[in-house]
Homo-oligomer: A and B are copies of this chain.
Amino acid sequence: SKTLRVAVIPGDGIGTEVMPWGVKCLQATAKVFNISIEFEHFDFASCEYYQKHGDMMPANWKEQLIGFDAIYFGAVGMPNLVPDDVSLWGSLLKFRREFDQYVNLRPCRLMPGVKCPLAGKKPGDIDFWIVRENTEGEYSSIGGKMFEGTDREVVIQETVMSRVGVDRILRYAFELAKSRPRKRLTSATKSNGISITMPYWDGRVSEMHKNYPEINLDKYHIDILTAHFVGRPEIFDVIVGSNLFGDILSDLGPACTGTIAIAPSANINPEGKFPSLFEPVHGSAPDIVGKNLANPIGMIWAGQMLLQHFGHTEAADALLKAIERILERSEASVLTPDMGGMGTTQALGEAIEREI
């Protein structure tokens, strides 16, 4: 099979610390399963780069990256150096938008050996996917300010939903639900309060459902939906939400399964016209930088999603199993402090690399 070309962008903070382990584990898995992967490293899309060049990326970033199959991405953000909206809109959010990675896919799974903050849940009880619209919606760049600096000051930002944008993410979510045994899809809405875009979203969901009569569909307003994540997460199978709602749910979901530090995220351009991007859910975590404490599992699991995405199912399964076995074993000298251990980034990374 053809060589996978992967652009490696560590970014900021712990992104640079977990990335080496992500690459090593991918290489180890590729070796076992005889997959050819080529990595190329890039230092842009970081706040350090911004400080040197006044921009998060070079003008020709798109040309530099477009030939790759995938971007393997660490984390971006150093709010003490560069405002978050500048650093993120200049990197991650630009990739998502300009490489049309309109699906953001995130697993929520209670893993063996991970302490669940919810009372009385055991591995297997919680296992669902969040499908997030990743290019439009509440993350818009239209709006502005008027009467600035006065008491009449008013600031407006527009949420934009397009038929194309909504329908394609819904189709992806229905298809995913169809492939699962429970065939259940939950739509996140807020049509009682957000009275223009959200009723539109609901309408498109009903419309799309007509093509998938076998899917067991329900919808919840986002407020009560977050409550159900805590109260009865086992009812969910596939959840689809707008850019903002998907963002919230995909931090809350991993928090409910105790995996916020280890969860991955795939930003997918399903047509393969542009590179897809794979990253951990956690951010750059400036507070623990340089201490060798960052948990590399989110980064490694993101690599697992990369393999899965390109059809290397066996290799992806093996890598996930390796992660699970290390978690299950729960050795204090291996697990990082966020998981209650005393291990280092290196100890945990090496353990998984060996396990492969």
A155 touches B (CB below 8 Å): yes
**A84 near B191 (CB under 8 angstroms)?**
yes
Residues of A115-147 whose CB lies within 8 A of B: 116-120, 138-139, 141, 143-145
CB of A193 to closest CB in B, whole Å: 5
Q: Which of A119, A222, A230 is packed against the most chain B CB atoms within 10 Å?
A: A230
Whether B251 lies near A227 (C-beta < 8 A) is: yes
The reply to whether B161 and A158 contact each other, CB–CB distance below 8 Å, is: no
Report if A252 contacts B (CB, 8 A): yes
Q: Is the CB of A196 within 8 A of B153?
A: no
Q: Is A154 part of the contact surface with B, judged by Cβ < 8 Å? A: yes
Q: A343 interface residue, CB < 8 Å from B?
A: no
Measured between alpha carbons, how far is A230 from B108 in the docked complex, in Å? 15
Contact B194 A141 (CB under 8 A): no
- How many protomers of this protein does the assembly include? 2
Instruction: Let me know if A152 and B163 touch, CB within 8 A.
Output: yes
From A87, A157, A200, name the one whose CB has the most chain B CB atoms within 10 angstroms. Answer: A157
User: Are B197 and A157 in touch, CB under 8 angstroms?
Assistant: yes
Mask, A80-91, CB within 8 Å of B = 1, is: 000111011100
Checking B118, B120, B251 against A226 with a beta-carbon cut-off of 8 angstroms, the contacting residue is: B251
Q: In the complex, which residues of chain B have a beta carbon less than 8 angstroms from the beta carbon of A143? A: 158-159, 196-197
In angstroms, Cα B160 to Cα A211, docked, is 37
A275, CB-defined interface residue at 8 Å: no
Q: Which candidate, A23-31, A178-186, A254-262, is the interface stretch facing chain B?
A: A254-262
Complex interface: chain B residues within 8 A of A1 (CB)? none
In the complex, the answer to whether B227 meets A145 with C-beta atoms within 8 Å is no
Known contacts A223-B248, A230-B255; A156/B197 CB under 8 A? yes
A contact residues vs B (CB 8 Å cutoff) = 77, 83-85, 87-89, 93, 116-120, 138-139, 141, 143-145, 150-164, 190-200, 222-224, 226-231, 243-244, 247-248, 250-252, 254-256, 260, 283
